[in-house]
Structure 1
């Protein structure tokens, strides 16, 4: 999220800069790799090493520029640099070819039956891991960003500007596929330091959410009764601590 904008609505350019700007350390390392590789190109003995260091980085940048609709100037610049690196690599092709295509003698495994068994085991474990993930994290029909249209606490309506008076006066609820849920008071920007975070599971028979807020115990379960759900809106009736809450939500 950025300024309460869903990630799916960000442009490729905004998405890229939000991603790379998340970690300052990563940006420094990436910059040092490019500077170091560029310095290596200045010396004949380290030209090949510098090319091998820079080429993967530049190929990645070219793909990002293409598929994330980065500015045309940046794309042209990355193509020119990548083409130059490929040219330098081809100049050393006679030295590189033996490394890539030289036949290497690998000692044969005496237990011939073990090789196919190991292959099947690796493939089986890979598919089993995917299956377990899909089963453990099923898609939820409630997933999405929900705006609280009407909020009543102990029978009294919570005003539109009451979110400034307390983090418990939520304006938005974010429900995720992996069982995570977050409730935010600020209607304009998602404030992680004020938001309520937790985990939920849905009981289809009782039509209830069982919510465990972070910082509590497994015994601290908040039961949320769901009614009038039609995919676009729903109503919550619950009790949080000593407060009885009634919320009407609209999906955005």
Structure 2
């Protein structure tokens, strides 16, 4: 059955508009000053529309946007999908019915696939670079190894699993960076889409299987990757499945005149060169806080718990201090500064005023004297120190030969 131009436009325009609405303000969020001058106003307008859609169309009386939760699967994010689909359909319908734009559906959609390529590509590069650094999947920590497996969330279990192996993190990072780089260039975009589909499918399955709250965003990365590949699916199917001779469509330049070609080249240099470099730079800059050297790292265990000191464990690791009892609540503190003679300045999230103080001193019998001063309150304790090498998870390591499985 032959698809009429208007039906084709009714498919391509809404799909292209949805890609644009979902991915915006990319790539403006990578360009200095554009957020304050333009992006924030458009984003605020979109937010008002989504709130209107939820409150009025879906009749969700208490619906609101929760700011900065770290989750991409909030109620607002779910309402955003049908809201954008509805808006995309109406905009696409108008464009399909107008005589001037009706014949432009294929061209508009092709440009939106280019837009999707850069959106998915740069996102995957950012994800991939993070795998090589401290942050997304941290290695075994004192806190994680002192937490019972049964008390770990599904997402926490996945993060600890991935974080254990640097080799596997490097593999994941290289896979994401490779897919992203291939998507940034026309000649490698189809191969990039194939790799991206495999990479994003794995991400989606992990997010759904371990309740990671990035389900909607990762699903869109997979969806956009499929859309990028879809125009070339027939020759790929003919070659790999039917074993027929086939060839991909010839890549034609979008511009032939000199000035548009120069403008395009500058845009490509910025998107495929400057932005990836700036993302890598920002990732490395974020490591300053996460990679603090702390010679006092360890798990300090004290023999008694009382009303003055209701905790018997103290964890020091990089820029983090944790106080906890065997089954009681935990207190988290940030290490602000490490001074000489075992003095650490600490802060908590609720009090950003003058830092509190922790003093550590090693005695002759390998015991550690600890004094914690929080305001005017002082807590003393004497205990032992445990290193990471004491944990089986860390000291077991890798073995080429295993006469018997070591599965404790």
**Structure with the greater relative contact order (CA < 8 A, sep ≥ 6): 1 or 2?**
1
TM-score normalised to the size of structure 1? 0.47
More strand as a share of residues: 1
TM-score normalised to the size of structure 2? 0.32
